[in-house]
Structure 1
Amino acid sequence: MSFQFILGPAGSGKTYFCINDISMRMKNNDEKVIFIVPDQMTFQMEYELVKKAEHKGMLNSQVFSFSRLAWKVLQETGGMSRTHISDVGISILLRKIIEERKEELKILKNVSNQQGFFDDLTKLMAEFKGFQVSSDALQEIIHQLEQEQSKNTMFVQQKLHDIRIVMDAFEEHVKDKYLDSEDYLNLLIKQIPTSEYVKNSIVYIDGYYDLAPQERSVVEALMKVCKEIKFSLTIDRAYDNGLPNELNLFYKPAVLYQQLLGLASENNQVIEEPVRLTNTENRFGHRKDLQHLEQNFDSRPVKPFLQSEHISIIGAVTKRAEVDAVAREITSLVKEKGYRYRDIAIFLRNSDDYSHLISTIFQSYDIPLFIEEKRSMMQHPMYRLLLAVIDIIQKNWRYDGIFTAYKTELLYPLQSHMKKRRERIDAFENFCIAYGMQGKKWTSEDRFTYRKYRSLDGVKATVTDEEKMFEEQINEDRALLVEPVQQLVSELKNAKNTREMCIALYEFTEEIQLPEKLQRLRDEAEEQGRLLESKDHEQVWKGFVNLLDECVELIGDEKISRKTFFELLQTGIQSLQFANVPPSLDQVSVANFDHSRLQRVKCAYVIGVNEGVIPSKVREDGLLGDEARTLLIQNGIEVAPTSTYQLFAENFNMYVGLTRASERLTITYPLTNDDGKALAPSSLISRMKGLFPGFQQRFESGDISMRTPKEQLSYVTNKEMAVSNLVLQTQNWIVQEERVNMDLWWTIYNVLIEDDIWRDQLFKALSSITYDNVAVSLGEELSSELYGEELQGSVSRIELFHQCAYAHFARFGLQLQERDVYKFEAFDMGQLFHSALTVIGEALMRENKSWSNLSQAECDKLAHEVIEEIAPKFQRDILHSTNRYRFLKKKMQSVISKVSYILSKQEEVGEFRPIALEVGFGKNQILSSYELPIGKNKKMNLGGRIDRIDEAVSENGEYLRIIDYKSRDKALKLSDVYYGLALQLLTYLDIAITNSQTLTGQKANPAGVLYFHVQNPIVDLGNKVDESDAEDELFKKFKMNGLLLGERESNVLMDRTLDQDGGSSSIVPVAIKKDGNYTKSSKVIDKEHYPLMSNYIKQKFTEAGEQILAGEVTANPYQQKDHVPCKYCSYQSICQFDKTIKGNEYRILPPLKDEDAIQKMIEEVANNESRTK
């Protein structure tokens, strides 16, 4: 029995020496050959051997990995009677152990809920088995640490203590019943001596750079029964006399060499002279630069080489530019150099950073692709549905879980029209959000009812057919989820053990026809050529069934809580991964830089070569950590290397990775990350520049215009790419005409416009170049169709138009609204205050009472009654939905009581009394309104509702004033009136005066307009403690703001204290000096200006109406100092107004003093009258 090394550096032909040697032996049918390689190489090596065997076959030779050899031997010798447990099953079992042993654990119980914890723990259990770490060995270390009683090692001691408990519990559970992947190797070691298949065979082992102790034990067992063992190793020479320095490039394989040499000696093997392969022309041919890289990668000092035609480096401004450059090069290699896609590979270290980007860009270039990465199944719709159902049950029917379940589209009946179903579910979601449908409302026997929101008056209108149809629809959609989930909840509740819980979950999937729906998705993907996706749909179902099978097998007879069952399922689902199978043979492979064993790579691209990536930073594994690993190694327990050792091995990893390509090597790196932050190139780039000082590094800016016409042509691999790059290049040409050569692109343009399919797409894409985000006028005809010949206006509508024409168009033309949310906001509070005060006022008027008749106790009583009356009608009874809202209702009741009392006190010192509340004006209303002519044959009807009209009577006649309740402090500025931003109160006053005959029976005079701030103010008394002082201060806080006519009589009617010689009102914004004149701070205007302002306001309505019906929809928000309406606008995401875009500019409204605003109104009214004469 003999043992022989096959030694040589990368590219020296070790693998193909093995293949050629095996093919020679295959001619002798008496010899059995076993070829052991890593899992990633098995398919490729089988392919190579079949090619060598040609028509003769390879019956006496087989390719195995260690795990596949275990299956082969155990099938022959027995030992397969125990049930296999996968990593998913192990994760489930470990979670159960952690839950059961929590009280004994010191560290792990506190971190077990962290994402990925059980994956890490599963890997650690596998590592300890692979490295043959025993529980007894751990206990010795723990005992030693306990004796030392060092604070520095306390954490490590506790961690090892926990790991040992979990190890022992796990082994106890699986002992004599189950086998995991590592157990197969232990059984293989035991069964090799009895295997006729292995006995006297010739074994070749290739592709390994290190072996775990368990794998070395397999090799040792093979030594005892096999005729020959030949082990190939990537190494520069035989290290018979000891290990080299840890910094030596080949230290890692040298360690393995020494380990295997020792095993061969201990097992009395005939150690044959190694086969030494040194000719790297086997891989690199006559490409001297690639040979130089292999031979001098780690040479000190650096040995420069001037030739570098087969090696290149690309720096790119972004990852997108980097990957795009690689895609264009690959396209060129295939189309111009005769390469096949299968000759090309991309190697990277952080697949999460690049996978999606590579998939997207390569698809646009029509490059077939296979990414060698383990993909989690968690994002598949099936598992998103199952996790959502778990979330629904655990969190009592919350929005997120509910609509995650619906949006997987796996609840819809088979043969559903998907587009219509999506629209239905969107409408259903809007309903649930608006009506607060979550929690017990979903499981209640009551149907969901739908009524369009009308008003707070509580009057129930007739249910429309549209409402009935929608209500039926939402209840049907509700049943799709509620019925199967409630059935699942019931069955889980009645389940006696885990097996019955698993059966209940399986029956849930059958109830919603999940297998049939997955089969439909698989067939659709297959028909459309999406083979990888088709396989995914198959795998998720198999994964689910296997997950349930393992739960039943491992803990089927145990009774566990529903919470624990769900946690086990979540752990299992998190561990499920897709098994990637290449959909075709001719495709570019994307592989991990460290772990890939790709063969026959002609052109390699190593991407993402930034500092900290290649070479990598020192990173500890999260669970065991370097401190614990070092401690174990120092005590003779072999485990996976520490991060420091891995750093030493990084040089070897780079050497292997950079020498894979036989013909071309390209290294690339980006200069910025996805957030635009700078990234440094790797130190490897500097090393490569030192080795090859003659080559020119290329830089990719992503700017196509900086390319030559020939280079630009590489961007045009298909018509889709032609259109997108033609648009980009045309845009560059418009900006910098003299610097852009368009000859190529005009040719491409002429080709595309002859194509019936692509012509329209080209024109649409080119139209984007001149996009300036300026809305085009609708024109009169379209506006008339949209708004009608008679414009139905309101004051707030016209004010909105003056704020921004586009906001008006979005609200009243497109009728866009924000999603109705079951939420109580500041606006809602204002509405409630407004309604409550109106209801109280109406009650007083019916009883011929006034506010001044009310005592504090009566205010309290009325506030309580009115809030109790209107709260159920408000926002679908939201104020009774939670304790928080019930408390808020009580607070608002207190505010209404306080405000009512203030109103009573204000009436006591004045003569004005309410005569109309919430009175409407306009068509079919109590009060008539404006009917303003617009243009030749059109008109605008103004309508609205006035909060409150007050009347006061004097010897000289009657006066009317307007009160508007506001939940925020507000002032009336004459500049805002002039700019059309504050027309409401003065319009209401004009309407009231115009209709005074209807309201009072005689013509009345205007007195003013006032805002009443409904609030709950904090009063600062300073050193005052008297109760009357507190009331006076509170009274002042409610002083109204607004605008009064400068007529002494009407102002005294508002506040009798003004009848004295001078004084300042605590109710209205007026103060009179001793000489009888108003103070500068008084908000009054001359009586003579009122008619003029009335005419000006009508003029603003008319002008706005004309512009609306002319089709004005420009996004033209105003700006007053620092204030712009966009800050609170709901339509920003639609108009996309951006002041950095040409044509998107604010209308600057200069500040105006009151007298200047009045003067401008006088001038504009005069100008208008002169134009219309």
Structure 2
Amino acid sequence: MDQGVRHQLYSWAHQAQESGQLTQLRDVQQIWQTFGTLLDEYVTILGDQVAPTEQPGQLVAEFADLMNTGFNAGRYAQIPSTLDQVLVSESGMIQDNQRKVLFIMGETDDVMPEVKASEGLLSDPDRELLKRGLNDDQFLPISGTDQINNEPFLNYLSMLSVTERLYMSAPLMSSDDIELTLSPYLKGLARHFNQWDDQNNAPTTDLPDRPNPRASEDDVWSFVAAPAVTMGNLIEVERLSKDTGRKLTSAWRDVARALTRHDEGLTGRLNDIRDGQYAKNEAVPLQPELAARLYTTNRQGQVTNQLTASISQLEKFYQNPYDYFLRYGLHLKKRDELEVSSDKSGTLNHDALAFFVQSVIDEPDLQLADLVKEEHQGRQAELIDQAFEQAMNQQEELRELAANNSRVNLQLQVAKQLITTMAKTLCLQATQTDAQPVAVEKAFGQADWTGESQAAELPALTFDLTGAGLGEGAKVSLRGRIDRLDELKLGEQTYQLVVDYKSYNKAFDLVDAYAGQALQMLAYLNALQAANPGEQLLGSLYLRLYVPTVDAGKEGTAEELKEHLYQGITINDDAVLAALDHGLGEKGATLLSIKKKSKKDTSRFKVSADDQFSAKAGSNLVSPTDLKRLMDHNAELIKEAAVQILQGQNEIRPYRRQVGTTAETGLAFSDFLDVSRFDQALDDYKEIELTDADVEAKFEQEEE
């Protein structure tokens, strides 16, 4: 029975071919081929069976179901071979010459020609010598020189494998924001077609650099491509239009309508991006009552109206108030990871050096300088080992990690080497100074925090906030722990010196100290002064904990000492400085970052009182009067921060300061960037524009 199916399919195929609809033509061909295959399989499987005559309708229904199932299970090609195809391959591979359009991407000078380093044992001259002794059936792999010589031909073959159009492109910047250079092939072709500007060493182009709100229709076409790319250009030009007040031309409006005309999903995405252009994550200030509950509730659940904090917490507030709110108000914290973090390794180093120095303090007949002597080398090694074990006992988690993780075990071995180096350095430094350590891990204010007073603990650094509109009894109480406290006796005077250990090269920055980003060292001096008002303060110094690279044979000498110079702030008394660092006489400083004064050293905070010495970068020399002024200013900064915290200040406004070519910001070490969502293009920084000269000028104005 002929139902005209084949005739109808042929008719559809002919119509599709005449109208150039190759996809529809291919569909008809595939349907007819699938139908024929199904009939062949039907005959093969069921051809010998006799159909029942009682119910012919049921037979037809079963046959129809079988055909439908077969068509649904059939496999159909989506892209006919006669239509366009996109092939992706490397330029060095052999290509056929059937491609109409070719895109060569990534044409930079490090890949075209490709830079190939010789990794073999033999150099190219060695290969030439060996080739002379080889038989005809013997050969060596191609040399690096031959590979380089073949590079142009491989790339030229790629360029010639196209019949109609060749597009070549190269990125200007890498993913690491490193500037890239164009391939010499690209430059050569640009010169050949007069599209290279030798004066500017760049290709000439008639395309606009960026979308223009007032662009004509022809210019707009340069920014129309795939929907995602076009959307990006449209958003950029709309943003530019809003910022500059220039209205969009009708051509851009047509692009916007075309993007959203037939795709609701694209419309929603475009609107979301538009809404987000000027969205800001603005923090709502806390009510003072809520701030008091968040920050002044003690362990018994009572609101005390007393802010108990550490110095580093207030530094965090000056770096970014919102980070302070998240960390110490909402108590958010970074997820713990199974690793030796910088905090854990830093605690280990501090504890080990504290145990080492304390063991020497506890022996009346032993000083650090004695451990340098040959007869005490065994004792020195014994004390170092004991100190490391005591420090490890304080961190059982690290010990467990090391027992089950080879990488952590190696990290602890490196930590042991650092502690050994620094312990020996402390002994060597003790031979060059009259100062002696009298305490380690000197705590102040810990009882206000833990509820338990420690032996020889100093009282908290406390300031009354009455009159700041915070209610009765408002105050701030600071706690801290001084890594090492030294004393220098000179005549009848005894000076106290604060030493703080750092795992990085930390300098005393006068501007940071004056603006609030670095409160620690001056706050330590304030705590000592508050506990013992009659004490003479020498200053505060940083000591970097690390293993320097020293020439062989110079270990334990003055050369190694110069790799561990102290940086910080000290009084400018020449006699005190000479007693603190014996090398300041003729050899040059062996402990302090100080040098002999030159004529160009004139800064108020850099020159000693008798004009003998001047401080290097990272250190400052100040008069006792100026040190007291800095400490008083530090106290005012502490009170100001406490008042703002208790008043509910929590704005998202990190500081930013330009130091040389580097911009320092309060976001550098933030754990909550995903929460604050600070937009550097839209949100405001708290700009720190002070300089050392500005701080010096302020001091001179106060004197007047």
Q: Of the candidates 978, 981, 1001, which is equivalent to residue 517 of structure 2?
A: 981
- Residues 276-327 of structure 1 show CA distances to partners (whole Å, capped at 9, x for unaligned) of xxxxxxxxxxxxxxxxxxxxxxxxxxxxxxxxxxxxxxxxxxxxxxxxxxxx
Q: Aligned partners of 2:289 and 2:232: how far apart in 1?
A: 54
Find the residue that maps to 2:47 and give its secondary structure: helix
Summarize the Cα distance change of 1:882–1:811 in structure 2 as closer, same or farther, 3 Å threshold.
Answer: same
Summarize the Cα distance change of 1:974–1:815 in structure 2 as closer, same or farther, 3 Å threshold.
Answer: same
State the 1:868 CA deviation.
3.0
State the 1:1130 CA deviation.
0.6
In the alignment, is residue 879 of structure 1 matched against residue 393 of structure 2?
no
* Aligned position for 2:379: 858
Q: Aligned partners of 1:832 and 1:866: how far apart in 2?
A: 10
Q: How does 1:924-935 map to 2 (within 5 A)?
A: 924=453, 926-934=457-465, 935=468
Which amino acid is the alignment partner of residue 1115 of structure 1?
A: I
Summarize the Cα distance change of 1:953–1:619 in structure 2 as closer, same or farther, 3 Å threshold.
Answer: closer
Structure 2's unaligned 5+ residue stretches are 14-29, 89-223, 234-252, 297-304, 599-609
In the alignment, is residue 921 of structure 1 matched against residue 452 of structure 2?
no
- Residues 130-153 of structure 1 show CA distances to partners (whole Å, capped at 9, x for unaligned) of 9xxxxxxxxxxxxxxxxxxxxxxx
Q: Of the candidates 411, 420, 423, which is equivalent to residue 900 of structure 1?
A: 423
In the alignment, is residue 779 of structure 1 matched against residue 282 of structure 2?
no
Q: Percent identity?
A: 21
Q: Aligned partners of 1:945 and 1:1107: how far apart in 2?
A: 25
Which amino acid is the alignment partner of residue 526 of structure 2?
A: D
Q: Of the candidates 1035, 1047, 1065, which is equivalent to residue 589 of structure 2?
A: 1065
- Residues 472-495 of structure 1 show CA distances to partners (whole Å, capped at 9, x for unaligned) of xxxxxxxxxxxxxxxxxxxxxxxx
Which amino acid is the alignment partner of residue 1095 of structure 1?
A: D
Q: Of the candidates 1071, 1087, 1092, which is equivalent to residue 624 of structure 2?
A: 1087
Summarize the Cα distance change of 1:930–1:891 in structure 2 as closer, same or farther, 3 Å threshold.
Answer: closer
Q: Aligned partners of 1:783 and 1:956: how far apart in 2?
A: 49
State the 1:1104 CA deviation.
0.9
State the 1:1131 CA deviation.
1.1
Q: Which has the larger radius of gyration?
A: 1
Check whether the contact 2:566–2:593 (CA below 8 A) recurs between aligned residues: yes
* Aligned position for 1:1077: 612
Check whether the contact 2:495–2:536 (CA below 8 A) recurs between aligned residues: yes
Check whether the contact 1:986–1:1009 (CA below 8 A) recurs between aligned residues: yes
Q: Aligned partners of 2:378 and 2:278: how far apart in 1?
A: 69
Q: Aligned partners of 1:900 and 1:1047: how far apart in 2?
A: 29
Summarize the Cα distance change of 1:874–1:206 in structure 2 as closer, same or farther, 3 Å threshold.
Answer: same
Q: How does 1:619-658 map to 2 (within 5 A)?
A: none
Summarize the Cα distance change of 1:1147–1:10 in structure 2 as closer, same or farther, 3 Å threshold.
Answer: farther
State the 1:199 CA deviation.
14
Which amino acid is the alignment partner of residue 795 of structure 1?
A: I
Which amino acid is the alignment partner of residue 1065 of structure 1?
A: A
State the 1:195 CA deviation.
4.0
In the alignment, is residue 827 of structure 1 matched against residue 366 of structure 2?
no
Find the residue that maps to 1:193 and give its secondary structure: coil
State the 1:10 CA deviation.
5.2
State the 1:1063 CA deviation.
5.6
Q: Aligned partners of 1:11 and 1:980: how far apart in 2?
A: 85
* Aligned position for 2:5: 6
Q: How does 1:569-580 map to 2 (within 5 A)?
A: none
Which amino acid is the alignment partner of residue 815 of structure 1?
A: H
Check whether the contact 2:525–2:631 (CA below 8 A) recurs between aligned residues: no
Q: How does 1:252-263 map to 2 (within 5 A)?
A: none
- Residues 353-410 of structure 1 show CA distances to partners (whole Å, capped at 9, x for unaligned) of xxxxxxxxxxxxxxxxxxx9x9xxxxxxxxxxxxxxxxxxxxxxxxxxxxxxxxxxxx
Q: Aligned partners of 2:518 and 2:315: how far apart in 1?
A: 7
Q: Of the candidates 1009, 1014, 1020, which is equivalent to residue 540 of structure 2?
A: 1009
In the alignment, is residue 192 of structure 1 matched against residue 9 of structure 2?
no
State the 1:883 CA deviation.
1.8
Whose helix fraction is larger, Structure 1's or Structure 2's? Answer: 1
Q: Aligned partners of 1:987 and 1:956: how far apart in 2?
A: 26
Check whether the contact 1:1071–1:1078 (CA below 8 A) recurs between aligned residues: yes
- Residues 918-965 of structure 1 show CA distances to partners (whole Å, capped at 9, x for unaligned) of 121123462123321221531111111111111121213100000001
Q: Of the candidates 636, 652, 657, which is equivalent to residue 1115 of structure 1?
A: 652
Summarize the Cα distance change of 1:1055–1:769 in structure 2 as closer, same or farther, 3 Å threshold.
Answer: closer
In the alignment, is residue 1160 of structure 1 matched against residue 677 of structure 2?
no
Summarize the Cα distance change of 1:1071–1:993 in structure 2 as closer, same or farther, 3 Å threshold.
Answer: farther
Check whether the contact 1:38–1:208 (CA below 8 A) recurs between aligned residues: no
- Residues 98-127 of structure 1 show CA distances to partners (whole Å, capped at 9, x for unaligned) of xxxxxxxxxxxxxxxxxxxxxxxxxxxxxx
Summarize the Cα distance change of 1:776–1:1160 in structure 2 as closer, same or farther, 3 Å threshold.
Answer: farther
Q: Aligned partners of 1:1157 and 1:1031: how far apart in 2?
A: 38
Q: Aligned partners of 1:974 and 1:1013: how far apart in 2?
A: 19
Q: Aligned partners of 1:613 and 1:860: how far apart in 2?
A: 79
Q: Aligned partners of 1:1012 and 1:875: how far apart in 2?
A: 27
Q: Aligned partners of 1:1098 and 1:943: how far apart in 2?
A: 14
Q: Aligned partners of 1:613 and 1:208: how far apart in 2?
A: 30
Q: How does 1:963-974 map to 2 (within 5 A)?
A: 963-974=499-510
Find the residue that maps to 2:557 and give its secondary structure: helix
- Residues 985-1042 of structure 1 show CA distances to partners (whole Å, capped at 9, x for unaligned) of 1111222233247xxxxx32111111111101112x4xxx6x3577332111011111
Q: Aligned partners of 1:1047 and 1:912: how far apart in 2?
A: 15
Check whether the contact 1:801–1:808 (CA below 8 A) recurs between aligned residues: yes
- Residues 729-787 of structure 1 show CA distances to partners (whole Å, capped at 9, x for unaligned) of 9x98xx9xxxxxxxxxxxxxxxxxxxxxxxxxxxxxxxx99853221211322212222
* Aligned position for 1:617: 85
Q: How does 1:31-110 map to 2 (within 5 A)?
A: 66=38
* Aligned position for 2:491: 955
Summarize the Cα distance change of 1:952–1:916 in structure 2 as closer, same or farther, 3 Å threshold.
Answer: same
State the 1:193 CA deviation.
2.2
In the alignment, is residue 804 of structure 1 matched against residue 325 of structure 2?
no
Normalised by the size of structure 1, how large is the TM-score? 0.37
- Residues 200-255 of structure 1 show CA distances to partners (whole Å, capped at 9, x for unaligned) of 9998999999xxxxx9xxxxxxxxxxxxxxxxx9xxxxxxxxxxxxxxxxxxxxxx
Normalised by the size of structure 2, how large is the TM-score? 0.59
Give the alignment's Cα RMSD to 1 decimal.
4.7
Q: How does 1:354-373 map to 2 (within 5 A)?
A: none
Summarize the Cα distance change of 1:904–1:613 in structure 2 as closer, same or farther, 3 Å threshold.
Answer: farther
Q: Aligned partners of 1:829 and 1:986: how far apart in 2?
A: 26
Find the residue that maps to 2:668 and give its secondary structure: helix
Q: Aligned partners of 1:990 and 1:619: how far apart in 2?
A: 72
Find the residue that maps to 1:820 and give its secondary structure: coil
* Aligned position for 1:1124: 665
Find the residue that maps to 1:944 and give its secondary structure: strand
Q: How does 1:124-273 map to 2 (within 5 A)?
A: 189=44, 192-196=47-51
State the 1:862 CA deviation.
2.6
* Aligned position for 2:689: 1150
Check whether the contact 1:895–1:1016 (CA below 8 A) recurs between aligned residues: yes
Summarize the Cα distance change of 1:198–1:594 in structure 2 as closer, same or farther, 3 Å threshold.
Answer: farther
* Aligned position for 1:747: none
Check whether the contact 2:574–2:612 (CA below 8 A) recurs between aligned residues: no
Summarize the Cα distance change of 1:197–1:845 in structure 2 as closer, same or farther, 3 Å threshold.
Answer: farther
Q: Aligned partners of 2:330 and 2:287: how far apart in 1?
A: 15
Which amino acid is the alignment partner of residue 1069 of structure 1?
A: S
Check whether the contact 1:1093–1:1161 (CA below 8 A) recurs between aligned residues: no
Which amino acid is the alignment partner of residue 614 of structure 2?
A: T
Summarize the Cα distance change of 1:1097–1:198 in structure 2 as closer, same or farther, 3 Å threshold.
Answer: farther
